[in-house]
Structure 1
Amino acid sequence: MTTTTEHELRLVLDKKETLADGVVALTLRSADGTELPAWEPGAHLDLVLTDELVRQYSLCGDPAERSVLQVAVLREQDGRGGSAHVHDTLREGDVVTARGPRNHFALAPAQRYVFVAGGIGITPLLPMIEQVAAAGADWRLVYGGRTRGSMAFLDRLEERHPDRVAIRPMDEVGLLDLPEALGEPGETAEQVAVYCCGPEPLLAAVEEECARWPAGALHVERFAPKEGADDGPRAAFEVELAASGSVLTVPPDRTVLEVVEESGVPVLSSCQEGTCGTCETTVLDGVPDHRDSLLTAEERAANDTMMICVSRSCSGRLVLDL
């Protein structure tokens, strides 16, 4: 696939409300009143806050509700300005551009689900929980955070699913007991699926705990690059753009995205860290050196696509569907 076309939406901030300490919810409507694009649990939206600030936020509303899109945003004290803009500058009635929805964290079929959330990582899991609960599937959620006051959607979860949700604030119980939370692995990924989202230490711990689980059973979504994701050699290589036949050289200190954009070919991008999937591009020939924090091991092995904002090449030339 190419990534030069995608839904671009003009949205009005209809409602902004505080959900927890440092967390606000945004309810967004179409500026012209048209129906909004369909989406499935796990999807996220790019919000173009300014020309320099494009940030990704997981959709946490009801996929059946096509008149609004809802996200929740944590104020990141050491962030790059996006969450501060949402909290301090964005006002009800403001119009923002959005791209998507896009989904790299889709809900796979399974007999049983274990959801593990850390802080704002609860947001993409909420629609998943509602879907599996409505389907009558077996599931449980373990939800950790710094304090109860910092954990969004507590009332909603405890009221709707009191027997399925374990709330574990760190100041009350310490770190999550992952062996207890996860339980025993099934023999196949279709028997038990684990969905986890939250800060990197939690994701790394869950990945370690699930190392003995069947391949494909664990699904994670990251808000920041995985530690060491961009490690490796940085030799120059060539990129051929299939649409024009142009051949470009990517030097050691530049990315494929930078070189392609410099050549005048438009490519959608957002995080430029290999976490959002906006710049995912089809690979027609060659072997990518995957340095993203998004693709699964199976997707990497297939070498069908790559995130051109960070990934490089194991071969002398890549042919891209651009």
Structure 2
Amino acid sequence: MSAIALNVAPIFILILTGWLIVKVGWFKVDVGDVLGDFVFKIAVPTLIIRTLVEADFHGASPFKLWIAYFSGVAVTWAVGHIVAKYVFKQDLRIAVIAGISSSFANNIFIGLPLVGRSVGDEGLVALSILLAIHLPVMMIAGTILMENATHKAIGGEKRSTGAILKQIGRNLISNPLIIGLIIGMSVHAIDVPVPVVLKSVIDQIASMAGPAALISLGMALNKYSIRGNVRIAAAMTTFKLFLLPGCVWIAGHLLGLSPQWTAALVLTASVPTGINAWLLANRFGTGHSLAASTISISTLLGVLSVSLWAWLLG
């Protein structure tokens, strides 16, 4: 248990540090946004490049990994949606936000540092493979469902699925994570040795990804207060922290993933809700309080869920 604490505690202490930095007035929350941009655009893509360049895939297929994770996402999203709509009597748009809040893990800002500390390089390989399609799949599904829900709720012009995919595709082309994945896989495929000086620079930037991500997340949490219907946010938090990783764990075992890949997927599934849930709510102008409350509550309780799943995984 002490080994788990050594891996998990620093993650949430760094998040708390970022939150306190803003709370006591040393920095404004906007500084956290700038730091977050550095993490998303520079540090994490560099970490992904280094991981993929040095990776040994052992001939493993990524499809089992994707199926294991997204089958858990599908079950959890559906349960969150149904509970919000039929138990808490929310409209269709809120139900979509509830579903995505219960199934969208913060696998960049928390998942990467956690898996790196707990599982190691092989876990980072699994997570990098997941990141190749995680953001596109989640944002495409969320956007299409929200477009349909908004049309049913308030009418107006409905965009075609093709138009939505075209817009998201344009956004993804310039996405730093996608660019990092492409560079990393390309260099790995052609097996070009990286010069020593360049490797040293890459290593130093990549080493900043975890701490900077966690501190910037803590600073950003000052914007996501707990408000509105706390009961539904608490329900979505429960699904996010326990149902999603449980489903992923079962799917990983059924599909025969390696213990390291299964552990990486389960751990990243057990982390708090990602900020993208709030961004989608903000994009469509509804569900802000639910997404914000789920982000905050799941982050507060995340240390417990992550510790529990780390213990269960051994």
Query: Does the TM-score normalized on the shorter chain lie above 0.5?
Result: no
* Normalised TM-score (structure 2): 0.26
Relative CO higher for 1 or 2, CA cutoff 8 Å, sep ≥ 6?
2
Of Structure 1 and Structure 2, the greater helix share is in: 2
* Normalised TM-score (structure 1): 0.25
Of Structure 1 and Structure 2, the greater strand share is in: 1
Q: From the CA coordinates, give the structure whose radius of gyration is larger.
A: 1
